Amino acid sequence: MKLTGAEIVWEVLQREGVKVVFGYPGGAILPTYDAMTKYPGIHHVLVRHEQGATHMADGFARASGQVGVAIATSGPGATNMVTGIATAMMDSSPMVCITGQVGSKAIGSDAFQETDVTGVTLPVTKHNYLVTKAQDVARTLREAFYIARSGRPGPVLVDITKDAQQLAAEFDWEAAAPRLPGYRPNLRALPSEYQTALDLINSAKRPLILAGQGVIKANATRQVLELAEKAQVPIALTLLGIGGIPAAHPLNLGMMGMHGEAWVNQAIQQADLLIACGMRFDDRVTGNLRTYAAQAKKIHIEVDPSEVNKNVRVDAALMGDLGEVLDEVLPSVRAADHSTWLDHITSLKGDAAVRDIQSLPDSGHLYAAHVINDIWRLTREGDPIVVTDVGQHQMWEAQYFRHEEPRSLITSGGLGTMGFALPAAVGAKFARPDKEVWVIAGDGGFQMTMAELATVAQEKVKVNIAIINNAYLGMVRQWQEFFYEKRYAATPLLGPDFVKLADAFGLRGLRVTQRSEVQAAVEAARHHDGSVVIDFQVEQEDAVFPMVPAGADLDAMIRRPKPQPQLDVLSETGGDDEWEMPR
Amino acid sequence: MPKHILVAYVEDKPGVLNRVASLFRRRAFNIESLTVGRTEQDGVSRMTIVVDADELMARRIEANLYKLVNVLRVDNVTDKPAVARDLALIKVSAANGKRAEILQLADVFRARVVDIEEKSLMLEVTGSEDKIEGILNVLRPFGIIEMVRTGLVAMARGSEAVSANPPQLPAEVTEAPLVDSGLALAHSV
């Protein structure tokens, strides 16, 4: 079958099972857009900025587990994608980006809208391609999909010259099968590694599982829980691991790391064995590496060999798919009673519950943590998908929204990309139209990509958008408060009237300033047919507790002040004794 | 830091050298020398990469090289019986009747004279890095006008190839290669 390169693009997308693509047309990609009209089975979402297209494809991928697809033109179209590609790379999100490129004869001539896109994206893609011939389009795209979703997933970019889109070539799906002699996504550990790991597991007295996003990506919730239950091992989660283990499970301790509960981090520091499952010992999780879990042996179950021994030296490394590795390990794991250790962890909680912001009396102030916890209580029966932005609200979400299902929290962890939430939520809703989808964003990050409200309106996507509005770049302000003597350089933030903004896009807008109004607003948003923007005007100078200062020991945490009766601790920002610095 | 010699087989495709170089830059791995050339097999190039790295770092480099889709195989030949050679072209000043003395020294190092001018000599010398350093040291007093070195190339001894040429695996691989915790792929594939 003789087809143009542009038609071959859509033929491959169709055969790869793609139903929706996110993109923005332009000169160098025009032939592909023109051919799109012949393929009505694939829905195209017109974004307002190519960064939005990549976050949507990323959100789609994280919500569905399938490859997300974004399309853009050459030059500025492609460079606008870079932030979204880097976001997907850091969080191992499977994505294929297709960009137009100037004609192959014009390459290198600084032609209009020419950029060396494969050069620009080389360090932020799992792999990338420049295609200059129509006959290479099919195989290259097939390889791109295969690489994006196999092994440790990631973004792959395919840059196709305009002439490769226009010219015709023979299209044969079978003959275009991937040929990747050097690509080996499936690795196995040596039997001796398994033996070492099993000996460690079966002899541990104070074991702990560290569960990361790999649990979700590998669909290994069942196996991790089986290990935890059989050997009575408590589980701590990374930010991206949230949802991989049900929050309600008795062995789930919750989030670890910089804003994890103090007692979870103390448990890690006191453990004698860490079983790392699909996580990569990020600095936000370990704190000071020299003192990190010094008493613990470490087992690393990981799909990517380059992650092993990168930050933390391990005693055994089990390479491969997490579920398959655990299936191999589980029959030889001995049932154990670690009740002393579990009781000890419970005792580490101390007065954490008293200090918890949920224990603060309703003083008439609106706290972000209360808003997020209320949204959880009001929506929990449907296990909604929450897509967060980056900053304080993201940490409060992780602390106060309890996720019971994998893929129900979508957040930019590794790159920490502000502006991620709204577009990623659009992608998530396309992946899971059956699910209630909430955006939880700060007023800063929301303003970075709020143009995508137009995409929301045009596509009639139903997402509920909670803006946690404190008129500050809150997390930066918190660091300035703690570490820069409250010099608030460039963090006070004037936002628009978000209710009017929603109105301008033809969406509904609501404003909430009191805790008593939260429930009504959340319910109104849920029962409204279209998307709703809620402007939660929260306490301006609240801080996320507990906190491990960057580079400090993991258990040296700044803790939330004890609530004092009749004294509104958090709104009085005068004294230095509001929060306790670590010992 | 100790030196490690890695031999990488890569697909002979545009941009592969850039990918390897970019990896070293991005991960802040320190390259001492890098050479690329053709091999006995069409479509496969061979890189010899000398890095300043301890054992653990060398293994991380190896694992990161394997992550590049176009890298077929990596061998660390540092501790294997191997021949490692550097080639240098040295233009040395031979004025004031020093020519005979230089030719004598060149003979000791088995350097070949490849060009003679009135006031200079060009020598070609091949050998281990130590040997090249040696001849450079003795020639320096005469005045080195110009010098270029290729960087190390290496090959293991014996009639067996250290690594067989990479098997042409289909993309949907079923047999997964073995790895240990030190990241090195077992050379059984």
Contact assignment for B15 to A118 by CB distance below 8 Å: yes
**Would the pLDDT of B181 be above 90?**
no
Do residues A313 and A298 touch, judged by C-beta distance below 8 A?
yes
Q: Find the closest chain B residue to A143 by CA distance.
A: B171
**B189 or A34, which is more confident:** A34
Both tokens of A539, joined, read 């306490």
On whether any CB of chain A is under 8 Å from the CB of B171, the answer is yes
Return the pLDDT at A569: 42
For residue B188, name the pLDDT band (cuts at 50, 70, 90).
Answer: very low
Q: Find the closest chain A residue to B64 by CA distance.
A: A306
Contact assignment for A192 to B180 by CB distance below 8 Å: yes
Return the pLDDT at B166: 43
How confident is the model over B115-156, as pLDDT tens digits?
999 999 999 999 999 999 999 999 999 999 999 999 999 988
Contact assignment for B171 to A119 by CB distance below 8 Å: no
How confident is the model over A322-338, as pLDDT tens digits?
999 999 999 999 999 99
**Model-level pTM?**
0.93
Residues of B in contact with A187 (CB under 8 A): 176-179, 185
In chain A (583 residues long), the average pLDDT of successive 10-residue segments reads: 97 98 98 98 98 98 98 98 98 98 96 97 98 98 97 98 98 95 86 95 98 98 98 98 97 96 95 98 94 96 93 94 96 96 94 78 85 96 96 97 97 98 98 98 98 98 98 97 96 97 98 96 97 97 92 90 55 45 50
Alpha-carbon dihedral A187, A190, A194, A199, rounded to 10 degrees: -150
Lowest pLDDT segment from A2-16, B17-31, B168-182: B168-182
Would you please indicate which residues of A are annotated as catalytic (active-site) residues?
50, 112-113, 162, 475
Nearest by Cα to A449 from A422, A485, A412: A422
Return the pLDDT at B165: 44
Bond before A546 cis per omega within 30 degrees: yes
For β-strands A95-101 and A155-161, DSSP reports them as parallel
Q: Find the closest chain B residue to A152 by CA distance.
A: B67
Nearest by Cα to A410 from A212, A215, A239, A154: A239
Q: Find the closest chain B residue to A146 by CA distance.
A: B171
Mean pLDDT to the nearest integer, B105-110: 95
Contact assignment for B172 to A181 by CB distance below 8 Å: no
Nearest by Cα to A184 from B188, B23, B12: B188
- In three state form, how does the secondary structure of A122-156 look? HHHCCEEEEECCHHHHHHHHHHHHHHHHCCCCCEE
Contact assignment for A130 to B66 by CB distance below 8 Å: no
Return the pLDDT at A354: 77
Q: Find the closest chain A residue to B71 by CA distance.
A: A182
Residue type, A49: H
For residue B177, name the pLDDT band (cuts at 50, 70, 90).
Answer: low
Q: Phi and psi dihedrals of A48, rounded to 5?
A: -105, -10
Nearest to B171 among A130, A146, A314 (CB): A146
H helix or E strand, kind and range, residue A227: helix A221-230
Return the pLDDT at A363: 75
ipTM for the complex shown: 0.89
Measured in angstroms, the CA of A256 and the nearest CA of chain B are apart by 25
Contact assignment for A180 to B171 by CB distance below 8 Å: yes
Return the pLDDT at B80: 86
Measured in angstroms, the CA of B71 and the nearest CA of chain A are apart by 5
Q: Compute the distance between CA of residue B51 and CA of residue B4 in angstroms, rounded to an integer.
A: 5
On whether any CB of chain A is under 8 Å from the CB of B181, the answer is yes
The CB density around residue A14, as the number of other CB atoms within 10 Å, is: 13
Do residues B84 and B128 touch, judged by C-beta distance below 8 A?
yes
How confident is the model over B38-58, as pLDDT tens digits?
988 889 999 999 999 998 889
DSSP conformational letter for A515: G
Which B residues 99-158 touch A at CB under 8 Å?
none
Q: Compute the distance between CA of residue A303 and CA of residue A278 in angstroms, rounded to an integer.
A: 7
Contact assignment for A182 to B68 by CB distance below 8 Å: yes
CB-based contacts of B6, cutoff 8 Å, min separation 6? B47, B48, B49, B50, B51, B58, B61, B62, B65, B74, B75, B76, B77
Contact assignment for B179 to A304 by CB distance below 8 Å: no
The CB density around residue A124, as the number of other CB atoms within 10 Å, is: 22
Residues of A in contact with B174 (CB under 8 A): 186
Q: Find the closest chain B residue to A192 by CA distance.
A: B180
Do residues A240 and A91 touch, judged by C-beta distance below 8 A?
yes
Q: Compute the distance between CA of residue A74 and CA of residue A120 in angstroms, rounded to an integer.
A: 12
Q: Phi and psi dihedrals of A367, rounded to 5?
A: -100, 140
Contact assignment for A177 to B170 by CB distance below 8 Å: yes
For residue B87, name the pLDDT band (cuts at 50, 70, 90).
Answer: very high
Cβ-Cβ pairs closer than 8 A, A with B, add up to 104
Q: Compute the distance between CA of residue A546 and CA of residue A356 in angstroms, rounded to an integer.
A: 10
Return the pLDDT at B56: 87
Q: Compute the distance between CA of residue A116 and CA of residue A75 in angstroms, rounded to an integer.
A: 8
Strand partners, B20: none
B/e letters for A198-210, b = 16+ CB within 10 Å, e = fewer, are bebbeebebbbbb
* Beta strand ranges found along B22-133 (DSSP E): 30-38, 44-52, 71-76, 82-93, 112-116, 120-127
Contact assignment for A186 to B180 by CB distance below 8 Å: no
Which residues of A touch chain B, with CB atoms under 8 Å apart? 118-119, 122-123, 126-127, 130, 143, 146-147, 177-190, 192-193, 300, 304-306, 308-310, 313-317, 319-320
- In three state form, how does the secondary structure of A383-440 look? CCEEEECCCHHHHHHHHHCCCCCCCCEECCCCCCCCCCHHHHHHHHHHHCCCCCEEEE
Phi-psi group of A566: left, alpha or beta (phi > 0 → left; psi -120 to 50 → alpha; rest → beta):
left
On whether any CB of chain A is under 8 Å from the CB of B188, the answer is no
Return the pLDDT at A188: 84
Q: Phi and psi dihedrals of A491, rounded to 5?
A: -105, -25
What Å distances lie between residue A211 and A226, A286, A548, A552, B170, CA to CA? 13, 13, 20, 22, 33
